[in-house]
């Protein structure tokens, strides 16, 4: 049987240790092509560089660096005439340095690289490891999950985006989860530079979780790795009655309604 074809990317950049560990583990059973950002792009989300040219640099055997975002890398890989031998069977992104739990998936470049694959009709897996976690164990688990995705993908089914998170310490097992709620201590830290001008840092370092059974955050806190299926369709049917009511009122327009004599 032919070896599967896997496209690997990340958001920590082409030199990241997590990327090397993931590539090495996947190469044991698959033909791997890596297209990763030239520099770190964490929290770049799904940005595409449409307003400037991109440079592609060969970074080794079947390895390429793009001076752009994670989504740029997957886009380039899937549309470039010669980078990939064929359409990949799977896109794997990571191993991210740090978890991507709950609302992190909106900001994460790791998840975005995988999501770009799913948007283009390829199953995709984002892999994230908590700080201090064991990279080799995470890579081995990512391989087992990737192999199962490939196996189930042989029969026709909708293409699926998955996010795999591995905790630090001893991993007690792997659970299928939903997205939890991640509460950051959000802040804008205002400071003054040596010239007397103000600058600021956003994003607080402290994060806590609301304890909800079955979520990725709960799994992480109890020492389990989590596999969360993510949707591409952000449409919220529950909001439809409210949107209908707002649209009905708003389409009349405030100026026009004021002019009409009653």
Other C-beta atoms lying within 10 Å of the C-beta of residue 166: 27
- Contact pick of 4, 5, 6, 12 for Mn ion (by CB under 5 A): 12
Using only C-alpha atoms, the chain has a radius of gyration, in whole angstroms, of 21
If the CB atoms of residues 13 and 88 are measured against Mn ion, the closer one turns out to be 13
Q: Cβ distance 126 to 111 under 8 Å?
A: yes
Site string for Mn ion, 68-107 (x = CB under 5 A): ----------------------------x-----------
Question: What residues have CB less than 8 Å from 248, skipping those under 6 apart?
Answer: none
Residue 238 CB, shortest distance to Mn ion, in Å, is: 32
The answer to the question of residue 11 lying near Mn ion (CB under 5 A) is yes
Q: How far is the CB of 97 from Mn ion (least distance, A)?
A: 5
Structure tokens at 103: 């609302």
Among the residue ranges 41-49, 115-123, 162-170, 203-211, the one whose residues contact Mn ion (CB under 5 A): 41-49
Kindly write down the DSSP assignment for every residue of 189-210, as one continuous string. Answer: EEEE-TTS-EEEEE--S-EEE-
Which residue, 44 or 146, is less far from Mn ion as judged by CB?
Answer: 44
Stretch that binds Mn ion, among 11-19, 163-171, 174-182, 200-208 (CB under 5 A): 11-19
Pairing of strands 124-129, 90-97: parallel
Residues that bind Mn ion (CB under 5 A): 11-12, 42, 96
């Amino acid at each position: 049987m032919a070896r599967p074809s896997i496209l690997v990317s990340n958001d920590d950049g082409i030199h990241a240790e997590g990327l090397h560990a993931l590539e090495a583990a996947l190469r044991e059973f698959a033909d791997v092509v890596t297209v990763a950002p030239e520099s770190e792009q964490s929290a770049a989300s799904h940005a595409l560089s449409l307003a400037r040219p991109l440079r592609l640099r060969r970074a080794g055997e079947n390895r390429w660096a793009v001076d752009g975002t994670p989504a740029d890398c997957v886009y380039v890989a899937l549309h470039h005439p010669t980078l990939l031998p064929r359409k990949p069977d799977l896109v794997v992104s990571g191993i991210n340095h740090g978890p991507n739990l709950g609302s992190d998936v909106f900001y994460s470049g790791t998840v975005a690289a995988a999501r770009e694959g799913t948007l283009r009709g390829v199953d995709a897996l984002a892999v994230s490891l908590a700080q201090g976690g064991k990279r080799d164990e995470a890579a081995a688990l990512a391989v087992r999950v990737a192999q199962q995705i490939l196996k189930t993908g042989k029969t026709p089914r909708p293409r699926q985006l998955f996010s795999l998170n591995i905790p630090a310490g001893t991993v007690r097992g792997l659970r299928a989860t939903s997205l939890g709620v991640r509460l950051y201590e959000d802040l804008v830290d205002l400071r003054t530079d040596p010239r007397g001008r103000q600058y600021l840092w956003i994003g607080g370092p402290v994060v806590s979780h609301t304890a909800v059974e079955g979520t990725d955050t709960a799994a992480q806190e109890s020492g389990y790795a989590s596999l969360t299926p993510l949707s591409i369709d952000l449409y919220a049917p529950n909001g439809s009655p409210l949107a209908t009511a707002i649209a009905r009122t708003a389409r009349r327009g405030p100026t026009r309604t004021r002019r009409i004599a009653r």
